[in-house]
Structure 1
Amino acid sequence: MAIYLEFEGIEGDVTAVGYEQQVKIDSASFSVTRAVSMETGNMSNRESSKPSFSEVSLAKAADSSSAAFFKSSILGASGKNAKIHFVQTGDNDQLKEFITYELENCIVSSFSFEAAGDDLPYETISLSYSKCTISYTGHDLANKGGGPSRFGYDVSAGTAA
């Protein structure tokens, strides 16, 4: 499986058909949490808080997008859209979308790098956003794709989108 980032206004080095000039991502993390209070012997009255969304954290090797992400972390304005594509090889070695995270109104909230010895610098980028939509496309045993399952949440409004 490969992970590609499509970030408005920033080009990367990906050459895979359909994902040209996107940014190759090595790992991604994201979480949503809610505090839930539970009383022993009274589980029917559980209460939960509003969801709390983490920033999306992406790790990648240094590439042609590095300077643009560094610049965006310092000077960049909000309003950029991003898509994180998780793809896998399907029939005839064609890439198929497995899951996609769409982020709206992104801000690059942090940029960091580390390097050791003869290795390329390794970068971590964090994205803050106002809306997140997840689209999952499953495949059957014959590798035929089904319709996507989608859900979005508007963090700024606190509503499903």
Structure 2
Amino acid sequence: MSEESVVKRGVAQGSAMGGAVLLVTVGVLELLQGLSAISKDEVIVTGVDYTYQFDLTAWGWTHLVLGAIVTAAGIALFTGAAWARGGAMVICAISILVNFLWLPYYPMWAITIIALNAVVIWAVSTWHPDRDRSRTAISTGEING
């Protein structure tokens, strides 16, 4: 195995674990955002006339549930399971959509979460643990053939 492929594999695995950490972080931010909306915090603007305007409590519960799911997906992503990678990408896409609709209420928070979700999608889509395991097994001589 060339030194370049070892470096690429290490970077991909590191970015995936970094993606898992970011996913848990996004989940916690979503939870805090939901709690802030449910408690009708003064930080959130409610006076806009917006096409996708829901009751602030409904947005809060949406973010709270989404945050719990995102956090669970982030914790599952630490296992490296293929379903966790796919689930993380889907839940990040949903989170991007929800936060895009949330933009008028708290733009900087929503943009931050959208950017973090995009990084997570990139990180988990570039990591291929099955391919990395088979290359490691071949290079160490565990597979005869």
TM-score, normalised with respect to structure 1: 0.21
More relative contact order in 1 or in 2 (CA 8 Å, sep 6+)?
A: 2
Output the TM-score relative to the length of structure 2.
0.22
